[in-house]
Amino acid sequence: MSREEFEQAVGDGLDRVPPELAAQMDNVVVLVEDDAPADEPELLGLYEGTPLTERDGFWAAGSLPDRITIFRRPTLAICDTREDVVEEVAITVVHEIAHHFGIDDERLHELGWS
């Protein structure tokens, strides 16, 4: 799958995020990178930022956006079809958005999102 096709799959996955959840996201951008960090080469996604639960009233003034990065090659390595990619990306996006809302991996596991 080309980079362009993968980016479209990420867009399709983002379209599956419930509108009420998407509307509550604040100062966050979703990016695509080909490779995960060298120390975690199988990582599918990564949230970098300050969760909403940890922000104070003055936090956002001049702050760079939080980042959700979806990694193309590791995702493609575990998927067989475009539909698999869209499904895996949707799961990964929801997982990383949950971190934006302050939900940790343990709670995500309890909810069946790990």
The tens-digit pLDDT sequence of the chain (114 residues) is 899 999 998 988 888 888 888 888 878 899 999 999 999 999 999 999 888 787 776 655 667 888 999 999 999 999 999 899 989 998 898 889 888 888 888 887 787 766
**Calpha distance 68→88 (Å, rounded):** 15
- The fold of 3-53+63-110 is Zincin-like (3.30.2010)
**Calpha distance 47→34 (Å, rounded):** 16
CB of 30 within 8 A of CB of 107? Answer: no
Q: What is the pLDDT of residue 71?
A: 98
For residue 6, give the nearest of 79, 63, 85, 67 by alpha carbon.
85
Q: What is the pLDDT of residue 57?
A: 63
Torsion region of 49: left, alpha or beta (phi above 0 gives left; psi -120 to 50 gives alpha): left
Q: What is the pLDDT of residue 105?
A: 80
Q: What is the pLDDT of residue 113?
A: 67
Q: Which residues are CB-neighbours of 41 under 8 A, at least 6 positions away?
A: 35, 74
